[in-house]
Amino acid sequence: MNFEQIKNDEQKYMMNAYGRFNTALVKGKGATAWDCEGKEYIDFTSGIGVNSLGYCDDGWTKAVSDQAASLQHISNLYYSPLQTEVAKKLCELSGMDKVFLCNSGAEANECAIKIARKYSFDKYGEGRQKIVTLVNSFHGRTVTTLAATGQDVFHNFFFPFTEGFDYAKANDTDDLKSKLTDDVCAVFIELIQGEGGVMPLDKEYVAEIQSLCREKDILLMIDEVQTGVSRTGSFYCYQGYGLEPDVVTSAKGLAGGLPMGACLSGKKTSGVIVPGTHGTTFGGNPVACAAAVEVLSRVAQPGFLKEVNEKGEYIRAELLKMPNVSEVRGQGLMIGIVTEKDNAKQVAARCVENGLLILTAKNLLRLLPPLTISYDEINKGLTILKNTMEETL
Ligand SMILES: *Cc1c(COP(=O)(O)O)cnc(C)c1O
């Protein structure tokens, strides 16, 4: 297949939604991908934190193809043993109480927002509907999750946005306190802001949020769409922070490459959703569930989590030895790199030419490699990154 032909057809037939790198990927195994012309790439992206077990992992491929050959979809009018298996595993791994299955991060966040507002409506009546998120956050692309996103650049064109969001400055307790007015029903945060530039929240600040929320019966809701499913070295990032949230959202890495989102409720919010208040046609799809069962049975094993942390430490130490690296942030295999020359976009584009898939977030380079990446692949990728840093100095 010819790349120029694919690119021309994309421009002719697809809406111009994305700035894409100049490659068309057609095949992968582990953390290695190949493009339509046979060129090989090391993958430090796993999609955007989606392929948690890498490309075409043997166990994952078997689970998915067996399920596709047995039952591809049923409506949510019927019970599904695969849905209940995913939900049970998620509850056991997270300590949360109940699960709603959907198809994406934005959908999981929509569910969380609906739960927050209905929880408060059921208990206090109208008027306590505001949700406080953080400046520089990212929560999705629907009209409501754009409103939840605390970045002005996203609040354009699509007016009117959903009302009832306010934004507090991250790691600033006084600013948060001033935003927790009587009309607030929930605080909704990422513990490490992903799209916002791999920015972790301070532990003391987050503990303070939790106690302020408890005092006022404000729900603490955590967006783990990017940080979750062992990405940051614990199954969910909040477990590393020692929190007990009321609602948690999950998606990206959950089914290892098939679309799946989940909204998890704590005891306090488990009764909020009742028949008629929420639903989805595709959510909890059996093939996606079979994929998630495989992911969940592997990534939360203590040995697996230990390796995620060790690989993260190793990569961070190697990055700090490279030219053009002024700071390395993040946790586990969610890593942000601040460059001295402030040229992340240029470095990322050149990395692709040199055979390395790598992400950016704001003006940082960002790594979200498959959790199963081998040290051989890590070293190959780091060598390409180092050479590219030197080329672009
Ligand atoms: C990616 C992301 C989302 C949106 O997920 P989609 O599946 O693209 O809808 C929401 N929140 C966070 C933190 C994300 O990283």
Give the count of alpha carbons within 13 A of 392, CB side only: 24
The pLDDT of residue 302: 93
Return the beta strands (E) in 235-291 as ranges.
247-250, 261-265
CA of 100 to the centre of ligand 1 (A): 16
For the residues 193-216, what does the mean pLDDT come to?
A: 98
Atom of ligand 1 nearest to the CA of 137: 13
Asked whether 258 and 174 are in contact (CB, 8 A), the reply is no
C-alpha–C-alpha distance, residues 94 and 115, integer Å: 19
**Looking at ligand 1, which residue's alpha carbon is closest to its atom 5?**
105
Q: How far is the CA of 365 from the centre of ligand 1 (A)?
A: 18
pLDDT at 152 over 90: yes
Q: What is the whole-number distance in angstroms between the Cα of residue 70 and the centre of ligand 1?
A: 30
With a CB cutoff of 8 Å and minimum separation 6, the contacts of 210 are 220, 243, 244, 245
The predicted-structure confidence for 345-379, as pLDDT tens digits, reads as follows 999 999 999 999 999 999 999 999 999 999 999 99
Residue listed under structure tokens 């190793």? 314
pLDDT tens digit string along 274-328?
999 999 999 999 999 999 999 999 999 999 999 999 999 999 999 999 999 999 9
Closest CA to 254 of 223, 232, 279, 228: 228
Per-residue tokens: 334: 């969610």
Please report the pLDDT score of residue 1 as a whole number. 79
Q: Dihedral sign for Cα 110, 111, 112, 115, please.
A: positive
Q: Enter the DSSP assignment of 123.
A: H
Average of pLDDT values for 22-28?
98
Strand stretches in the chain, DSSP E: 25-29, 32-35, 40-43, 98-102, 130-134, 165-168, 184-189, 192-193, 199-200, 219-223, 247-250, 261-265, 325-331, 334-339, 356-357, 359-361, 364-367
- CA 82 – CA 292 distance, rounded (Å): 9
Give the distance (Å) from ligand 1 centre to CA of residue 156: 19
User: Span 325-337, mean pLDDT?
Assistant: 98
Whether the predicted pLDDT of 44 surpasses 90: yes
Give the ligand 1 atom nearest the CA of 140. 4
Q: Which atom of ligand 1 is nearest to the CA of 259?
A: 7
What percentage of the chain has pLDDT greater than the value 70?
100
N-to-C CA span, the chain: 34
Distance of CA 309 to the CA centre of its chain: 18
Using most ligand atoms within 8 A of CB, pick from 138, 143, 192 the residue to mutate for ligand 1.
138
The CA 393 to ligand 1 mean position distance, Å, reads: 33
Q: Please check whether residue 133 is in contact with residue 149, taking contact to mean a CB–CB distance below 8 angstroms.
A: yes
Question: Per residue in 264-279, is it b (16+ CB within 10 Å) or e — as a string?
Answer: bbbeebbebbeeeebe
Average pLDDT over residues 163-191: 98
Are β-strands 184-189 and 130-134 bridged in parallel, bridged antiparallel, or unpaired?
parallel
Domains and CATH numbers, the chain: 3-57+302-391 (3.90.1150.10), 71-299 (3.40.640.10)
At residue 322, the pLDDT reads 98
Q: How confident is the model at residue 27 (pLDDT cuts 50, 70, 90)?
A: very high
- Name beta bridge partners: 361: 364
For residue 109, which atom of ligand 1 is closest to its CA?
10
Output the ligand 1 site: residues, CB below 6 A: 104-106, 109, 138-140, 190, 194-195, 223, 225-226, 251-252
Q: What is the mean pLDDT of the chain?
A: 98
191, 225, 260: residue to mutate for ligand 1 pocket, most atoms within 8 A of CB: 225
Ligand 1 centroid, distance to 104 Cα (angstroms): 7
Ligand 1 centroid vs 277 CA: distance in angstroms? Answer: 23
Q: What is the pLDDT of residues 63-103, one digit of tens each?
A: 999 999 999 999 999 999 999 999 999 999 999 999 999 99
